[in-house]
């Protein structure tokens, strides 16, 4: 099954959001990649700032990957009479070149790019890159978490292209705060190459969301042959690299509609409103395929994933965690809460979320298998962010195209 921007953008509902008056105007989205073709017609007038973190290379894209990704987010479709328009064509683009013209880069370049983007006013940072994860956290993912907490920026990061095996999510997509993106085709079937969870080391749920990423036609950088060229201005490529900018663009639409929302609220909203597929597990699809219309309109969302990890033989203590429901509307909402998991106990069957407020529902898991009710918790516990020295590293990370 093949799909191009003229199909994948409607697939996630973006044109309906445009009709409602939101196209990403006023929102800055940073793309950390191989740079962009600054002369491409689709990106004319879109670039608010650009910087290269690759020694001896300018932001000009000599690979083609970054141009394709950027066009999927903000492209005007000028070179195709509007046919290949991006998800958020009104958004402003910040270009950080962190991968060289061969498509790879050092962690130090990428970390510098993340710091620059988050401190340059980017509400969304799109990263279609990554490397093999050796555990649940590392310097790259810790940097994502630290910057997310400090600046309120949302990092949308590709899950990777090493599916269909499990525990294949790459770094920095393993970061707790990242909105990690898998790929589907035009029929919303999970792409075989899309990396799956759980997260290596602690069995946390990843990815949180999916988006179209199979045979996506978008901008081609001049003089490059990445993907399968269609003409001088467009090329077709597949990967979670192609799915990630669809989510980043949808996040820009939400950010324009709800300018006071934090990055983590946008993440929770996008995941909570995604279209869940019955034939894919949470470790494959997270909450499902991004739905821009629901994400902009719904106004009520919940904790996107709740990970209890892995239990070993002999574990008998009940583990309780909270689902936090957020209501950004001006009226209270009563929700019915249910679970299809027999070994999971909910603290309540209903919850009333006050106007412009939050409410929590405790969720308990008993590894012994004995039925027990979850103990109500009166207030949510704030998240913690772990930090570590950022040692320079030479391990190289690559773009996420298959």
- Among the candidates 264, 282, 300, a domain finishes at 300
Interval 135-187: pLDDT, tens: 999 999 999 999 999 999 999 999 999 999 999 999 999 999 999 999 999 99
Same structural domain, 236 and 354: no
Question: Is 33 among the residues known to form the active site?
Answer: yes
- Among the candidates 281, 300, 319, a domain finishes at 300
* E runs forming strands in 102-192: 104-106, 124-127, 129-130, 154-158, 179-184
Q: Is 217 helix (H, G, I), strand (E, B) or coil?
A: strand
Percentages of the chain per state (helix, strand, coil), in multiples of 5 = 25, 25, 55
Interval 322-351: pLDDT, tens: 999 999 999 999 999 988 887 788 998 999
Which of 322, 383, 331 has its CA nearest to residue 357?
331
Instruction: Please indicate, yes or no, if residue 96 is contained in any of the structural domains.
Output: yes
Same structural domain, 132 and 180: yes
Q: Which two tokens stand for residue 52?
A: 């290269």
Same structural domain, 65 and 191: yes
The DSSP code sequence of 10-63 is HHTTHHHHHHTT-S-TT-EEEEEES-B-TT-GGGTTTEEEEEE-STT--SB-SS
User: Within 10 Å of residue 95's Cβ, how many Cβ atoms?
Assistant: 28
- Under 8 Å between Cβ of 99 and 33: yes
Q: Check residue 317 and give its pLDDT.
A: 86
Instruction: Please indicate, yes or no, if residue 64 is contained in any of the structural domains.
Output: yes
Alpha-carbon gap, residue 218 to 214, rounded angstroms? 12
Same structural domain, 99 and 121: yes
Same structural domain, 58 and 145: yes
Residue 171's domain is classified under what CATH number? 3.40.50.200
Instruction: Please indicate, yes or no, if residue 128 is contained in any of the structural domains.
Output: yes
- Among the candidates 265, 300, 335, a domain finishes at 300
* Catalytic-labelled residue, pool 40, 61, 65, 80: 65
Same structural domain, 317 and 244: no
Angle at 316 between CA 315 and CA 320, to 5 degrees: 100
Question: Is 241 among the residues known to form the active site?
Answer: yes
Q: Which two tokens stand for residue 133?
A: 């994860």
Segment 24-29 shows an average pLDDT of 98
Same structural domain, 223 and 336: no
Instruction: Please indicate, yes or no, if residue 381 is contained in any of the structural domains.
Output: no
Same structural domain, 275 and 313: no
How far, CA to CA in Å, does 208 sit from each of 138, 156, 176, 268, 285?
A: 19, 10, 10, 9, 7
Q: Which structural domain range is residue 367 located in?
A: 308-373
Interval 186-229: pLDDT, tens: 999 999 999 999 999 999 999 999 999 999 999 999 999 999 99
Same structural domain, 103 and 197: yes
Strand partners, 31: 95, 126
Same structural domain, 296 and 365: no
Segment 361-368 shows an average pLDDT of 89
Comparing 368 with 393, which gets the higher pLDDT?
368
pLDDT band at 400 (very low <50, low <70, confident <90, very high): low
Instruction: Please indicate, yes or no, if residue 107 is contained in any of the structural domains.
Output: yes
Q: Check residue 288 and give its pLDDT.
A: 97
Segment 62-86 shows an average pLDDT of 97
* Catalytic-labelled residue, pool 23, 33, 101, 185: 33
Instruction: Please indicate, yes or no, if residue 25 is contained in any of the structural domains.
Output: yes
Same structural domain, 324 and 208: no
Instruction: Please indicate, yes or no, if residue 69 is contained in any of the structural domains.
Output: yes
Alpha-carbon gap, residue 115 to 247, rounded angstroms? 21
User: Domain tally for the chain?
Assistant: 2
Q: Is 87 helix (H, G, I), strand (E, B) or coil?
A: coil
Query: Beta 154-158 vs 124-127: how paired, if at all?
Result: parallel
Q: Residue 11: which region, alpha, beta or left (left: phi > 0; alpha: psi -120 to 50)?
A: alpha
Same structural domain, 292 and 347: no
Instruction: Please indicate, yes or no, if residue 391 is contained in any of the structural domains.
Output: no
Helix axes 240-257, 65-74, angle to 10 degrees: 30
* Catalytic-labelled residue, pool 4, 137, 177, 241: 241
């Amino acid at each position: 099954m093949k799909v191009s921007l003229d199909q994948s953008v409607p697939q996630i509902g973006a044109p309906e959001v445009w009709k409602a008056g939101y196209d990403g105007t006023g929102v800055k989205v940073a793309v950390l990649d191989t740079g962009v073709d600054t002369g491409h017609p689709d990106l004319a007038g879109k670039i608010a700032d650009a910087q290269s973190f690759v020694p001896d290379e300018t932001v000009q894209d000599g690979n083609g990957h970054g141009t394709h990704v950027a066009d999927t987010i903000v492209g005007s479709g000028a070179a195709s009479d509007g046919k290949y328009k991006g998800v958020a064509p009104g958004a402003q683009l910040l270009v950080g070149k962190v991968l060289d013209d061969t498509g790879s880069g050092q962690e130090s370049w990428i970390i510098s790019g993340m710091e620059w983007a988050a401190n340059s006013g980017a509400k969304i940072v799109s990263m279609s890159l990554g490397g093999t994860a050796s555990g649940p956290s590392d310097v790259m993912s810790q940097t994502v978490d630290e910057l997310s907490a400090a600046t309120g920026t949302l990092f949308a990061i590709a899950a990777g292209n090493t599916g269909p095996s499990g525990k294949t999510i790459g770094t920095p997509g393993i970061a707790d705060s990242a909105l990690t993106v898998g790929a589907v085709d035009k029929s919303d079937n999970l792409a075989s190459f899309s990396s799956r969870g759980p997260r290596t080391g602690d069995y946390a749920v990843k990815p949180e969301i999916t988006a179209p990423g199979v045979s996506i036609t978008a901008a081609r950088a001049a003089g490059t042959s990445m993907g399968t060229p269609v003409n001088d201005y467009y090329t077709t490529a597949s990967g979670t690299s192609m799915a990630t900018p669809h989510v980043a663009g949808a996040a820009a639409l939400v950010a324009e509609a709800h300018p006071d929302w934090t990055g983590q609220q946008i993440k929770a909203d996008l995941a909570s409103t995604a279209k869940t597929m019955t034939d894919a597990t949470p470790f494959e699809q997270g909450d499902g395929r991004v739905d821009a219309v629901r994400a902009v309109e719904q106004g009520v969302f919940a904790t996107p994933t709740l990970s209890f990890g892995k239990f070993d033989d002999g574990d008998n203590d009940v583990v309780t965690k909270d689902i936090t429901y957020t209501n950004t509307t001006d009226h209270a909402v009563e929700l019915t809460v249910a679970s299809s998991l027999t070994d999971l106990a909910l603290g309540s069957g209903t919850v009333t979320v006050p106007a412009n407020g939050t409410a929590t529902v405790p969720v308990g898991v008993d590894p012994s298998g004995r039925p027990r009710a979850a103990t109500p918790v009166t207030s949510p516990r704030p998240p913690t962010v772990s930090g570590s020295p950022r040692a320079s590293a030479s391990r190289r990370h690559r773009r996420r195209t298959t």
